[in-house]
Amino acid sequence: MSADPVISVTSPRRPGRLARQSSTVRDWDVSSERSADRESLPLRFEDVFRRYAPYVGALVLRLIGRPGDVDDVVQDVFIQAHGWLSQLRDPAAVRPWLRRIVVRRTRRWLRKGWVRRRLRELDVSAQIDLIDGGASPEERAEIARVYRTLDQLPRDERLAWVLRFVEGETLESIADLLGCSLSTAQRRLRSAEAKMDVKMGEVR
- Range 133-138, long-range pairs (CB < 8 A, 24+ positions): 134/5, 134/6, 135/6, 135/8
Whether 2 maps to a domain, the answer reads: no
Whether 98 maps to a domain, the answer reads: yes
Cα-trace Rg, the chain: 17
pLDDT digits (tens, 9 = 90+) for 35-56: 444 556 678 899 999 999 999 9
Domain of 27 in residue numbering reads as 7-203
Q: Which amino acid does the sequence have at 45?
A: F
Whether 154 maps to a domain, the answer reads: yes
Position 68 scores a pLDDT of 80
Position 26 scores a pLDDT of 33
Whether 122 maps to a domain, the answer reads: yes
Q: Which residues of the chain have pLDDT under 70?
A: 1-41, 113-135, 202-204
The tally of domains found in the chain comes to: 1
Whether 1 maps to a domain, the answer reads: no
The residues near 90 (Cβ < 8 Å, ≥ 6 apart) are: none
Kind plus residue range of the DSSP H or E element containing 200: helix 182-203
Position 142 scores a pLDDT of 81
pLDDT digits (tens, 9 = 90+) for 7-19: 333 333 333 333 3
Whether 129 maps to a domain, the answer reads: yes
Position 120 scores a pLDDT of 58
Position 30 scores a pLDDT of 38
pLDDT digits (tens, 9 = 90+) for 98-121: 999 999 999 998 887 556 556 555
Whether 22 maps to a domain, the answer reads: yes
Q: Quote the pTM value.
A: 0.74
Provide the total of helices (H) and of strands (E) in the chain, helices listed first. 9, 2
Measured at the alpha carbon of residue 42, what is the angle toward residues 40 and 46, in degrees to the nearest 5? 100
Position 187 scores a pLDDT of 97
5 within 8 A of 155, measured Cβ to Cβ: no
